[in-house]
Amino acid sequence: MEADTGESFICYNCGYIARTKRTLIKHIKVGNCNLTTYTSAHSANVYVCIQCSKEFDKKGNLDSHIVKKHPEIVPTLSCKIYICEVCNYKTLRKCNLNRHILTHQDNSNYKLNCPHCNATYGERKGLDDHIVKKHPEFMKSVKRSIYECRNCPYKTVFKSRLDEHSMVHSDAVAMHKCIHCLGTFKTGRALEYHIVIKHPEVTTSVTRKIHQCPYCSFRTFRKEKLQTHLLKHPDAVANIKLIECEYCNDVFRRNTSLGDHMIQNHPEHMSGVTCKIYECPVPTCNYRTTTKYNLVKHMPTHPNITNYKVNACPVPTCNYRTTTKRYMVSHMKTHQDDKSSSCVHCNAIFKQRKSLDDHILKKHPKFAESVKRVIYECPYCPNKTVYKWKHDDHLLVHPDAAHKLVLLKCMHCESTFKIKRELDDHIVRKHPEFMASVTRKIHQCPYCPYRTVKSTLDKHLMKHRDDVSSTKLRTCRHCNKSFKQKESLDNHMLKEHPEFTESVTRNVHQCPYCPYRNVRKVALDRHITTHPEADSSITLITCEHCNKSFKRKQSLHDHIIRKHPDFISSVTAKIHECAHCPYKTMRRNDLKLHETTHHDASTSQ
């Protein structure tokens, strides 16, 4: 292969600049200098499309652009083009063609069978990775490079998978430190994203392309995130063409979303769906979707299906299943061995290592050096945590930090919110005409116009008295008693059927003074206050404005709302306001009682 010496070779017929002499000879042999599709407009590293003037840093990227956007000038390309025999799909890479052919269900000629089991793969590299992991005794038959983990026997032929696996070993992760603050990150991409968000004045050090919102200071690396963000601005929403359903008033941004809506809500008009529909191969299942990813997520619901490779959790007591290996890797992090999930200083047990680290910081601060992950320290008090969201919520307790809080303001009214979810829910309820700007999933009540982005739809459905029977209930298999929520069923198992507590999947909290158990930590804390011997061990929360102490954080917030309304911004919980007077409270029932006793009485007079 000819080396790149830095010298440029110029074609005198069309001005094409080549880096090597071999590339120039290949260009001249094509003989289409007048129809050439690339030129060096600025330098030898820039390739410009003559059809749309779009620039590329590599010739291969330009050729791929021409194949997708300008098929009429594809014959002018000198590189080899792979064409699908079933459809008009074209690509410059053979691996992309092999992956595409698998989408045609009738075509199975390109599947590679493992000689040691019944597994099939669409690419040779995937088969080699399977042999390395499942049949290590035949690993000598793999001719490509094999990447090995330095901390465990993990091996793979994919360099990206080895990098993803190395995240499991916290000691082996090379942390990227921000030079402008104390933040540390596992990847360079996360560090650059942090610089764009937190340090916009030094974005010149970021090597990735930054997409800037034309209406505000929002920046991102991903173009699709910018397009989603633009929906927040009314000026941008007016220019977006929304697709309206012919049979109802719902609107959608994508044709696939409209297709899924037609399949679920208007199955009798499903013939009008223009996009491709993926059907579940199980004869007894009627599941259909317009997105292949949704079908892949649906397949684990059929444990006996063999057309899709389903990864099952190896833990005997766990029923988690998925068709995506990346999800299985993330799920396995929740299963820690006894040494990592049990606190060595007390008898506390946790499902995740991160929860154990946070426990050590709060209950055993003398051993904080054993915590190896990032620790967020409060600048006003000794509070420490490994959760960023807990750190942000704690800062609101301090008046100095509460004044610096950046509130999210609704662009359609003067309401402000502390959490993005609350803002989205406000737009859905108060400004339904701008509902397309909400990026979260919107839950629609089938009996009334109620919509929400929270997981409160089940509670709302109980308001429809006639439709309570249709609500999905969870039944105890030992006494046939039904419950509305899985949490209530788990608590029922702990109280009434303690011999079957192994079936409870949630974390069980045990009272240290009696046999009381509950799956809710809040309920346990409330129960412990009934023991006189626990008064000395209870950590009281002190109000910083009047030094009054409280056992629960909710009581402290109620106290601030009533006695210190000037510092109400430090309250992290949701506040319910009366529509007729300045009354405020954290409890919805108290608000209803206030309205019925005060305002209803005044109207009757």
> Does the residue 260 lie in any domain?
no
The H-assigned helical ranges of 497-604 are 521-528, 553-563, 588-594, 600-604
At 313, list the tokens: 């959790």
pLDDT at 247 over 50: yes
* pLDDT tens per residue, range 535-590: 666 667 788 888 788 877 778 888 888 888 888 777 777 777 877 787 888 777 77
How far apart, in whole angstroms, are the C-alpha atoms of residue 250 and residue 486? 32
> Does the residue 505 lie in any domain?
yes
At 372, list the tokens: 């190896």
Q: What is the mean pLDDT of residues 282-301?
A: 81
Contact between residue 373 and residue 357 where contact means Cβ atoms under 8 Å apart:
yes
How far apart, in whole angstroms, are the C-alpha atoms of residue 413 and residue 390? 29
574: nearest Cα among 459, 419, 454, 450: 419
Q: The domain spanning residue 362 has which CATH number?
A: 3.30.160
> Does the residue 595 lie in any domain?
yes
577: nearest Cα among 419, 565, 421, 553: 565
Answer with the one of 171, 199, 218 that is the final residue of a domain: 171
Q: What is the mean pLDDT of residues 413-439?
A: 81
Q: Give me the pLDDT at residue 76, please.
A: 79
> Does the residue 501 lie in any domain?
yes
- Residue 579's domain comprises 541-604
Give the bridge partners for 320, in sequence order: none
At 443, list the tokens: 């839950």
Q: What is the mean pLDDT of residues 148-169?
A: 82
Q: Give me the pLDDT at residue 560, please.
A: 86
- How distant, in Å, are the alpha carbons of 447, 464, 465, 474, 482 from that of 469? 14, 10, 8, 12, 12
Q: How many residues does the chain have?
A: 605
> Does the residue 413 lie in any domain?
no
Q: Which of 74-83, 123-132, 234-243, 522-531 has the highest mean pLDDT?
A: 123-132
HEC assignment per residue over 174-239 = CCEECCCCCCEECCHHHHHHHHHHHCHHHHHHCCCCCEECCCCCCEECCHHHHHHHHCCCHHHHHH
Answer with the one of 152, 171, 190 that is the final residue of a domain: 171
How far apart, in whole angstroms, are the C-alpha atoms of residue 129 and residue 126? 5
Residues 167 and 182 in one domain: no
Residues 549 and 497 in one domain: no
Contact between residue 261 and residue 252 where contact means Cβ atoms under 8 Å apart:
yes
Residues 199 and 160 in one domain: no
Q: Which residue has the higher pLDDT, 561 or 19?
A: 561
CA of residue 346 relative to chain centroid, distance: 34
Torsion of CA 423, 424, 429, 435, to 10 degrees: 130
Q: What is the mean pLDDT of residues 449-460?
A: 77
